[in-house]
Each structure stands twice: as structure tokens, then as C-alpha cells.
């Protein structure tokens, strides 16, 4: 039935790079890829790391793993070599699938170079992947269209000084880094059919890493049955899915939103969606709306940070396009401020579309609090009510459930099919992180308010996590990247309001003796963070901090630092600060902050 049905409208980084992929074509590619992986020794239960941009081969690779019962561990292509290495090691992945290079807007990302660096780091730590399969993406033109595995057309923007697409550094079986193999060569030789491996509903489907408050990312494990059921159901009801819809989720598959609502949710419903490789501002700021018109998108799903970014350019880039096909507009990733919500509703949706503000997490697999379009009366900025079967509660510090109008910790009282099952290789950490603070409840780590009408309003993280452009980062992760610099003795990172990102990083650094604070040092620190974590973690502010406000037991008082970052002298109770003179000093040093 779905054989000839369109699975994806693929839109590349350049508007002319378009292709269509049917369910039938996808199945053949997935079977071939499963055969390729099997030939490389991949079996049920093995872990496969995937580090790729938003191209069809990414979907093929993840589904091929699923077909074999192997766990894919997708690492967002914006992460650094170090982050990739850490994730490969944590789940001892047998194999890496990556891409030569790609463009994000005008920026060239030499992905294979980063992948090589990661594999070198793994080897230094005594671990070697069996092989590295490389999709020729930027170098696709050399293949000719016929050979192109997903019928993607040649890239229109080749870069002459990039050699990665032409050469595989390790194309021999005797290098110490392992073996590099071209995807298209392996796929050409592979059979079109592959029996799926039968899995139990509770078998793991994939691992996806999310920041942990200790700084070490957690490998969130989702299962075959529960996760698939949950994403299929939430997709159907939250987007009011109908067969004639064209769905578009702008999230990268490297994040959970992409896993659930670019790949698994739409696929399980036989939906037609858009797979977009580019960015909202390239070649111009009306790109999203031109794609909406091009494919007659009916249901559109994006993040508040993208909405705020586009709002800055005014209404005309939006209204220049018809957008008549749009029916439902979704948002996810962070609290949406009412101003952005209203612009989304009034300008993008021309006041005719429902907005679904969906609250959920990597750990929950799918939507938890969300309106149902056309059925739930909306309030700008509220994720409204729980999805079917979800039982939220708001607790106070002592763990008592609060009734009626209340504010406190958001928890869930009963499990749902898509709940993560464990932290890969560390079940104790799973129990400690989510179930220890309030026994008997799943703790989200978010604060929440319930109003007099019973609507839920997420107030933001209440742990040491930061939400930058909808992506969670732990303060500990950034602090440890900072203190690895020889000039830094101690660091403390807090969130700071940002008009587009929602929140940005504000870092306080205490220098080692003999070092001076300078623009060169702050640049070095930013570079270090980009290399250790990735560009998303680049701080907006770094401030020299001769001392940090601490409690007598030595705990850094982030609440005070957040106030200092905002130049807000209303500090509340500071009686527990061990050395109050530090606070004055930091306020005085604010003017030395270098952006
Ligand atoms: P992640 O696991 O990276 O997807 O991040 C999950 C976190 O993003 C949640 O714990 C919230 O802090 C935040 N978040 C996601 N969706 C929403 C939303 N609709 N409203 C408010 N916060 C959200």
C-alpha cells in the first residue's frame, strides 16, 4: 500500500537540491544497508555510531540498524571530535557511519576530518572501531546521479579546496586507525532484500546521548515496542495526522525530536514529510516559508529559538509566501515566550492554525504535555495538558503533591510506553537521576506552574542544566572544558537571558597565578569549548572572577552568580556566603566582561 507512497521530499542545503523518496525506495536502501552492516559483522545488540548531516542516508543507516536489532547511537554533526569519541567509547560502538563533508548554509563542515580525529582519540584510549563507512555527499557529483544511493542529485556547491570527498585516508586493511569504506561501493554490491531480525518489545532500539548534570553525557536507551508505539501515537494525535498531510519537523535527527518526529513517528504512520538539510536563514530568511509553499506543508514543527530568530527580520519574509496549506504549527525544546507564540500564531499561521506547544524530553521519547490541535483552548506560552495516559504532578521541596494552583517540581506519577528504560551501561545512574529525589515519581528536572484553569506552564530547568537554543547543556560539562585550559584555576557557568537563544552561557573564570585576563584568552577559551563540546556550547560572556561566591562547605552559589551576570543587586539572602567581599568584586568586574 505504501510502496509507491512518498516518504520524503528531500530538500538540500541549496534550494535546487531536491529529490523525492518513496517508501519502496527507502525499504530497498534500508535492506541493502542492513546487508552491508551484516557483512561488516554487525549483529543484534551491537552499537553503531552515526555522525551525519540531514541526508537520506542518515535515515537509511538508522533504520538498517533497527532492522538488524543493532542499536544506533546518532551523534549530532555539530558536536566536536571529542564529543564523538566520548560517545563511541561509552557504548563501545563497533562501527562508525559518517559523511565526507557538507554545507550548513555557507559554512563548510569537514565532517570526515572530525570523525578521523575522534577515531584517533578512541585509539589513543585503547579502543578501535571495526570500520568507518563514509557517504560521499559533497563529492556526490563525481558519482553521477545513477549511482547515487538515495537518488540525491549532485551537490551544486562543490568546494575545490576540499579533498575529503576524493580521498579516503585509510582505504587499506592494515592501518592502525581501522578501515575506511565508501558507502556507495558497499551499497552497490549489496542485495535488495534482508530479513529483519525479530526483536522483543523490550529490546533496545537506540541510544541517544543527552547532557547529564555531572557533566558526563547519559546514554538514554529507548526500546523497540514502547518507544515506537508512543511516537506513532503522539505523532497521530498531536499533529492530527491524516494521510494527505505533508509534515515537516525542522529538527536535526541528531536530537530526539528528529528521531521521534522526522524518522520514527511519521514512518510508523505512513506519512509524507520534508527532510531538510539546510538552515532557516540560507539563502535568505524566508527559506522556511518558501519550502512550506513548495511542498504544501500542512503540519509544521520547529523550535522557539528559530521563531525568535526569524521574528527579528519582520513579517515580510513570511507574508511574501502564501502558507495557505498550513494547519497546525508545533513548537518544542524550551518554553516559548508569549511574544514569539503570538507572532507564530498571528503572522506565520495567519491566525487560522492551532499551535501545539509540546513539552517533552529525550528521556520521555515523545510528547508529554501538549494541546490537541483544534480541541484544546490555547494559552500562549502554556504546554496546556497531559497527553493520553500521562499523569503529571507538581511537588514541593518535601515531595508533597500540590493541588490546584501551584508551582514546584514537575514529575510524572506513572510510566508511559515511551519512557527511557535505562542509562546505557549504568542503571544505577538512571535510578539516581530520575527516581531518587522523589521516590515513586519520575523527576523531569523542570519547574512548573499550574494555573487556576489547570493549565501547565513550564518555568525552566531547576537543576544545573542550561537550555541554549532548545539544547540542554550541563554547567559541569562547560566548566570542565574551561578548567582544562592551563590559565584557568576554577570556573562557574550560569544561564543568562538571550533574545534569540532563550538562554546563553555566562562563564566566570578564576585565573591561575601568572595569567592575565585578555581578549586573546577569552578567544582561546571559546575555541577550547567549541573543540571539547561543539559550537552550540560557545559562551556569549566570559568574566574574570578573582573569587567565586561559595557556601562555607565550598559549594558555588550559582543563584548569586546569575544575579551578578544580570547586574541585579537584589541578591536575596546572602548570609551563607563564606566571603561576601567576593560579590562586590564580581559586580565591579562586570564591566571588564568581554563578549
Ligand atoms: P531535551 O531532552 O534535550 O529534548 O530537552 C528537554 C528539556 O527541554 C525539558 O526538560 C525542558 O527543560 C525543555 N523543553 C522541551 N520542550 C519544552 C516546552 N514545550 N516548553 C518548555 N520547555 C521545554
Parse the chain into domains and list their residue ranges. 21-139+177-195, 199-386+417-441, 469-589
Can you tell me the mean pLDDT for 146-161?
42
pLDDT (average), residues 507-524: 93
Q: Would you give the end-to-end CA distance of the chain in angstroms? A: 56
Answer yes or no: is pLDDT of 583 > 70.
Answer: yes
Pocket test for ligand 1, best of 210, 259, 341, 360 (most atoms within 8 A of CB): 360
Whether pLDDT at 135 is above 70: yes
DSSP state of 142: G
Fold equal for 199-386+417-441 and 469-589: no
Q: What is the pLDDT of residue 352?
A: 97
For ligand 1, residues with CB inside 6 Å are 210, 256, 332-335, 357-362, 383, 444-446, 458, 461, 467, 471-472
What would the pLDDT profile of 101-130 be if each residue is shown by its tens digit? 999 999 999 999 999 999 999 999 999 999
pLDDT for residue 161: 39
DSSP string, 437-506: SSTTSEEEEEEEEE-TT--EEEEEE-SSEEEETTEEEEHHHHHHHHHTSTTEEEEEEEEEEETTTEEEEE
* Interval 286-344: pLDDT, tens: 999 999 999 999 999 999 999 999 999 999 999 999 999 999 999 999 889 999 999 99
Return the residue whose CA atom lies nearest to atom 18 of ligand 1: 359
Question: Rounded to the nearest whole angstrom, what is the distance from the C-alpha of residue 359 to the centroid of ligand 1?
Answer: 6
Closest C-alpha among 500, 510, 496, 488 to residue 556: 510
Mutate to test the pocket of ligand 1, among 75, 359, 380, 463 (most ligand atoms within 8 A of CB): 359
Q: Tell how far the Cα of 215 is from the centroid of ligand 1, in angstroms.
A: 18
Tell me: pLDDT of 453 over 50.
Answer: yes
Q: What's the CA gap between 172 and 592, in Å, rounded? A: 54
Q: Which residue among 79, 301, 334 has the greatest number of ligand 1 atoms within 8 angstroms of its CB, and so is best to mutate?
A: 334
Residue 445 CA: nearest ligand 1 atom is 10
User: Residue 361 C-alpha to ligand 1 middle, in angstroms?
Assistant: 5
Sequence-separated (6 or more) residues with CB below 8 Å from residue 181: 131, 132, 133, 134, 168, 171
What are 431's three cell numbers?
535510578
pLDDT at 582 over 60: yes
**Band of residue 589 on the pLDDT scale cut at 50, 70, 90:** confident
Whole-number Å distance between alpha carbons of 159 and 356: 40
Which class is domain 469-589? alpha beta
Cα–Cα distance measured from residue 174 to residue 406, given in angstroms and rounded to the nearest whole number: 64
Q: What pLDDT, on the 0 to 100 scale, is given for residue 169?
A: 45
CATH of domain 21-139+177-195: 3.40.50.980
Among 75, 218, 467, name the best residue to mutate to test ligand 1's pocket (greatest count of ligand atoms within 8 A of Cβ): 467
Return the residue whose CA atom lies nearest to atom 22 of ligand 1.
Answer: 334
Pocket of ligand 1, candidates 222, 255, 304, 361: which has the most ligand atoms within 8 Å of its Cβ, to mutate? 361
Per-residue pLDDT at 579: 85
Please name the residue whose Cα sits nearest to atom 6 of ligand 1. Answer: 361
pLDDT of residue 464: 80
Lowest mean pLDDT across 142-151, 177-186, 267-276, 419-428:
142-151
Nearest Cα residue to 363 out of 202, 459, 255: 255
Q: How far is the CA of 444 from the centre of ligand 1 (A)?
A: 9
Inter-residue contact 143 to 136 (CB < 8 Å): yes
**Which residue is closest in CA terms to ligand 1's atom 7?**
361
Burial of 174 (0-12, 13-18, 19+ CB in 10 A): exposed
pLDDT reading at 177 higher than 70: no
Q: What percent of the chain has pLDDT over 90?
A: 81
Within a 10 A sphere around the Cβ of 200, how many other Cβ atoms?
A: 10
| Ligand 1 centroid to residue 462 C-alpha, Å | 12
Mean pLDDT of 247-260: 97
Which atom in ligand 1 lies closest to the alpha carbon of residue 472?
3
Query: What spacing in Å lies between the alpha carbon of 230 and ligand 1's midpoint?
Result: 17
In what helix (H) or strand (E) does residue 357 lie, and over which residues does it extend? strand 354-357
pLDDT range class, residue 13, cuts 50, 70, 90: very high
Nearest C-alpha to atom 11 of ligand 1 is from which residue?
334
**Ligand 1: centre distance to CA 514 (Å):** 42
Residue 178: what pLDDT?
59
Of 111-120, 133-142, 420-429, the range with the lowest mean pLDDT is: 133-142
The string of DSSP codes covering 370-419 is: -PPTTTSPP-TT--BSBPTT--EEEE-TT-PEEPSSEEEEEEESS--TT-
* pTM for this model (two decimals): 0.89
DSSP string, 203-235: SEEEEEEE--TTSSPEEEEEEHHHHHHHHHHHH
Ligand 1 centroid, distance to 426 Cα (angstroms): 23
Tens of pLDDT, residue by residue over 277-286, are 999 999 999 9
Q: Is the per-residue pLDDT at 153 higher than 90?
A: no
The candidate with the shortest Cα–Cα distance to 10, out of 241, 362, 253, is 253
CA of 461 to the centre of ligand 1 (A): 9
Judge whether 143 and 123 are in contact, CB under 8 Å.
Answer: no
Q: What integer best gives the mean pLDDT of the chain? A: 91
More confident of the two residues 310 and 589: 310
Atom 15, ligand 1: residue with shortest CA distance = 333
The class of domain 199-386+417-441 in CATH terms is: alpha beta
Query: Which are the contacts of 500, defined by CB distance < 8 A and separation ≥ 6?
Result: 305, 308, 309, 312, 469
Q: Whose CA is nearest to atom 4 of ligand 1?
A: 361
Q: Could you tell me the distance, in angstroms and rounded to a whole number, from the CA of residue 73 to the centre of ligand 1?
A: 21
Q: In the prediction, which pLDDT does 557 show?
A: 86
pLDDT reported for residue 95:
98
With a cut of 80, say whether residue 168 has pLDDT above it: no
The CA 76 to ligand 1 mean position distance, Å, reads 17
**Residue 145 pLDDT > 70:** no
**Is residue 9 classed as helix, strand or coil in its secondary structure?**
strand
Compute the distance between CA of residue 59 and CA of residue 67 in angstroms, rounded to an integer: 12
Distance 467 CA to ligand 1 centre (A): 8
Which ligand 1 atom is at minimum distance from the Cα of 358?
Answer: 19
How sure is the predictor about 595, in pLDDT bands with cuts at 50, 70 and 90?
low
Instruction: Choose the residue to mutate in 219, 333, 364, 443 for probing ligand 1, maximizing ligand atoms within 8 Å of C-beta.
Output: 333
Distance 169 CA to ligand 1 centre (A): 40
Cα(411) to centroid of ligand 1, in Å? 13
pLDDT at position 539, please? 96
Amino acid at each position: 500500500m505504501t510502496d509507491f507512497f512518498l516518504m520524503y521530499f528531500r530538500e538540500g542545503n541549496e534550494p535546487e537540491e531536491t529529490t523525492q523518496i518513496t517508501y519502496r525506495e527507502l525499504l530497498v536502501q534500508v535492506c541493502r544497508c542492513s546487508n552491508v552492516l551484516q557483512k561488516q559483522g554487525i549483529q543484534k545488540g551491537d552499537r553503531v555510531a552515526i555522525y551525519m548531516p540531514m541526508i537520506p542516508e542518515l535515515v537509511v543507516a538508522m533504520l538498517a540498524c533497527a532492522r538488524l536489532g543493532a542499536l544506533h547511537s546518532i551523534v549530532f554533526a555539530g558536536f566536536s571530535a571529542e564529543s564523538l569519541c566520548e560517545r563511541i567509547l561509552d557504548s563501545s560502538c563497533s562501527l562508525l557511519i559518517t559523511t565526507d563533508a557538507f554545507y550548513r548554509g555557507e559554512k563548510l563542515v569537514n565532517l570526515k576530518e572530525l570523525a578521523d580525529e575522534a577515531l584517533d582519540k578512541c585509539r589513543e584510549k585503547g579502543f578501535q572501531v571495526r570500520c568507518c563507512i563514509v557517504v560521499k555527499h559533497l563529492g556526490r557529483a563525481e558519482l553521477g546521479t545513477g549511482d547515487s544511493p538515495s537518488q540525491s542529485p549532485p551537490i551544486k556547491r562543490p568546494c575545490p579546496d576540499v579533498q575529503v570527498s576524493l580521498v579516503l585516508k585509510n582505504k587499506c586493511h592494515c592501518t592502525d586507525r581501522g578501515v575506511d569504506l565508501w558507502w556507495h561501493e558497499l551499497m552497490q554490491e549489496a542485495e535488495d532484500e534482508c530479513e529483519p531480525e525479530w526483536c522483543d518489545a523490550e529490546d533496545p532500539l537506540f541510544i541517544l546521548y543527552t547532557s547529564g548534570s555531572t557533566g558526563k553525557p547519559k546514554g538514554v536507551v529507548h526500546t523497540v515496542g514502547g518507544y515506537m508505539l508512543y511516537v506513532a501515537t503522539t505523532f497521530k494525535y498531536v499533529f492530527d495526522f491524516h494521510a494527505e498531510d505533508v509534515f515537516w519537523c525542522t529538527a536535526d535527527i541528531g536530537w530526539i525530536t528528529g528521531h521521534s518526529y522526522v524518522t520514527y513517528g511519521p514512518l510508523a504512520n505512513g506519512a509524507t514529510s520534508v527532510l531538510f538539510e539546510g538552515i532557516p536563514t540560507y539563502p535568505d530568511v524566508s527559506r522556511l516559508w518558501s519550502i512550506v509553499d513548495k511542498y504544501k506543508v500542512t503540519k509544521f514543527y520547529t523550535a522557539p529559538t528559530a521563531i525568535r530568530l526569524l521574528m527579528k527580520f519582520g513579517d515580510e519574509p513570511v507574508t511574501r509566501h502564501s502558507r495557505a496549506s498550513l494547519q497546525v504549527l508545533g513548537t518544542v525544546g524550551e518554553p516559548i515566550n508569549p511574544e514569539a507564540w503570538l507572532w507564530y500564531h498571528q503572522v506565520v499561521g495567519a491566525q487560522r492554525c492551532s499551535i501545539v506547544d509540546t513539552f517533552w524530553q529525550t528521556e520521555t521519547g515523545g510528547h508529554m504535555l501538549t494541546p490537541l490541535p483544534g480541541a484544546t483552548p490555547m494559552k500562549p506560552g502554556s504546554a496546556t495538558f497531559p497527553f493520553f495516559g500521562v499523569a503529571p504532578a507538581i511537588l514541593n521541596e518535601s515531595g508533597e503533591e500540590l493541588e490546584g494552583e501551584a508551582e514546584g517540581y514537575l514529575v510524572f506519577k506513572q510510566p508511559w510506553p515511551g519512557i527511557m528504560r535505562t542509562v546505557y551501561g549504568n542503571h544505577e545512574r538512571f535510578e539516581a537521576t530520575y527516581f531518587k529525589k522523589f521516590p515513586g515519581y519520575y523527576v523531569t528536572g523542570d519547574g512548573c506552574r499550574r494555573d487556576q484553569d489547570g493549565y501547565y506552564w513550564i518555568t525552566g530547568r531547576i537543576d544545573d542544566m542550561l537550555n541554549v537554543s532548545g539544547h540542554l547543556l550541563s554547567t559541569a560539562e562547560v566548566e570542565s572544558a574551561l578548567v582544562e585550559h592551563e590559565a584557568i584555576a576554577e570556573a562557574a557557568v550560569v544561564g543568562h537571558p538571550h533574545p534569540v537563544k532563550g538562554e546563553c552561557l555566562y562563564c566566570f573564570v578564576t585565573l591561575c597565578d601568572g595569567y592575565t585576563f585578555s581578549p586573546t584568552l577569552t578567544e582561546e577559551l571559546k575555541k577550547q569549548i567549541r573543540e571539547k563540546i561543539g559550537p552550540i556550547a560557545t559562551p556569549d560572556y566570559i568574566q574574570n572572577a578573582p573569587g567565586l561566591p561559595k557556601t562555607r562547605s565550598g559549594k558555588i552559589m550559582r543563584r548569586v552568580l546569575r544575579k551578578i551576570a544580570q547586574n541585579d543587586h537584589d541578591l536575596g539572602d546572602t548570609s551563607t556566603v563564606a566571603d561576601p567581599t567576593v560579590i562586590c568584586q564580581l559586580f565591579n568586574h562586570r564591566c571588564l566582561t568581554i563578549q
